[in-house]
Amino acid sequence: MTVRTQGGYAAGQLTVHRSPAEIAPVTRALRGAGRKVALVPTMGALHEGHRELIRHARRTPGATVTAVSIFVNPLQFGAGEDLDRYPRPLEADLQVCREEGVELVFLPGVTDMYPDGADTTIVPGRVGDELEGAVRPGHFAGVLTVVAKLFHIVAPEVAFFGEKDYQQLVMIKKMVRDLDFPVSVVGVPTVREPGGLALSSRNAYLAPEERPVAATLQRALAAGAAVSARGPEAVLGAARAVLAEEPELQVQYLELRDPDLGRRPQTGRARLLVAARLGRTRLIDNIAVQL
């Protein structure tokens, strides 16, 4: 499939840029002219959750240009993961961008992003080895590295990420603080299917009969949150009980952490996080809890 690179910038029209050398001068010229650039980084296979991110970006106050990056980042996939089969419906993705009023799409290839390989990467720190990092070693080094590159190339003033990938959101915010990136990172609440399943590009892997089982993750989280006044053990116990109802789910972790993913709190704000495998599909979800 060939996508024509339109180049430049035309207000109200979608333009596609394939390399850092193409998009960087455009976004810097826009910012020099007093425009804001709002970035929504994605790996494509855009769904209603991505649309919501784009809508939040377009509501950024001021004269804002919305940019979407589409790049399946090989650095964040481990051995045996789904890099080769990750969905890549490019024409459908560009149509979503047109419908949502996106004006800039950054569509690089692997050699555009890593022309000399990827010897230099971001070290995620302690939290990067826990939860998702424990199950997927090296994952967050890949995530933070590509996000850092996107921030440098596109130079946005604000970037939007979904709360479904809550650990990713926390770590990107920490990277921005620790390394003084001049960008504001905004988290957007998880968008769900009518049955409660958190929207994800990987939901395409689910068989029709698996979808109600997959929604068990959300039911477990909701059950835990419903008894939050009784303390952390009650929260975890209620969630475990719901997950146990579906033996097809192979639970990888269920944890209650403070909002920055440090220790388990006894009172106040917390986050309940879960990951499980269902057949060939890996699922994650989370919910805010007030203890």
Which residues sit opposite 278 in a β-bridge?
281
Q: State the Cα–Cα distance between residues 216 and 195, nearest whole angstrom.
A: 9
At the second CATH level, the architecture of 201-290 is 2-Layer Sandwich (3.30)
**15-188 and 201-290 share one CATH topology?**
no
What percent of the chain clears pLDDT 90, i.e. is strictly above it?
Answer: 93
Distances from the Cα of 257 to the Cαs of 188, 192, 286, in angstroms? 19, 22, 11
Active site residue 152: no
Given 50, 56, 139, 152, the catalytic residue: 50
Query: Is pLDDT of 131 > 60?
Result: yes
Using CA atoms in the order 35, 41, 42, 48, what is the torsion angle rounded to 10 degrees? -60
How do residues 208-223 score in pLDDT, each as one tens digit?
999 999 999 999 999 9
Could you tell me the two tokens for 54?
Answer: 């784009």
What is the residue extent of each domain of the chain?
Answer: 15-188, 201-290
Q: Using DSSP, state whether 138 is helix, strand or coil.
A: coil
pLDDT at 8 (0 to 100): 83
pLDDT at 5 (0 to 100): 52
* C-beta of residue 209 within 8 angstroms of C-beta of residue 229: no
According to CATH, the superfamily of the domain at 15-188 is: HUPs (3.40.50.620)
